[in-house]
Amino acid sequence: MDLLERARALAACPLFADLAPAVVIRLAERARPATLEPGERKTTDDTVWIVVEGSLVIASRAAMSAVASISTTRKHGGTATAGHVLGLVRVIAPQTPALDAVAEKTSVVIGISVDDMRDVLEEDPVALTALSAALARRLLEGTS
């Protein structure tokens, strides 16, 4: 994925809808794509994951053992599909528990390190405000 493709993937997330193009590009510069095979696991310890294709089952770390299968993982959480963002809340609220996400089919994700995400948002108050507004809208809409 080149820079623009990564930026497109980010722009496809409703949460990033209000970010200025220059900010999306700066995030895309720091983003690294990855293709996950079924059963492959990612965590939100230090990375924000944006689902581009496929689906991942998600669960809080505390509820799962380290060797949980897809089926046991599915029991603990929902499914993240294209456009979902995993781990973003930890960027602004580091005490938020980390999650595990396990690909249930071949999936494409984009990872941005939490520190990179923080850097970009701290550099640009307007971007941070836009993201806050998006968070507020999600809260009002009652979706998560």
Q: What are phi and psi of 8, to 5 degrees?
A: -60, -45
Identify which of residues 71 and 79 has a Cβ nearer to other proteins in the complex.
Answer: 79
Burial of 95 (0-12, 13-18, 19+ CB in 10 A): exposed
> Which residue of 11, 34, 70, 108 would you call a contact of other proteins, by CB under 8 A?
11
Restricting to residues 46-105, name those near other proteins by CB under 8 A: 46, 51, 58, 60, 77-78, 80-81, 83-90, 92-93, 96-99
Residue 91: both structure tokens together: 């960027």
Residue 111: both structure tokens together: 């990872």
Distance CA 103, CA 39 (A): 5
- The residue type of 59 is A
Binding site for other proteins (CB under 8 A): 2-4, 7-8, 11, 13-15, 20-26, 28-29, 32, 44-46, 51, 58, 60, 77-78, 80-81, 83-90, 92-93, 96-99, 113-116, 118-126, 128-129, 131-133, 135-140, 143-144
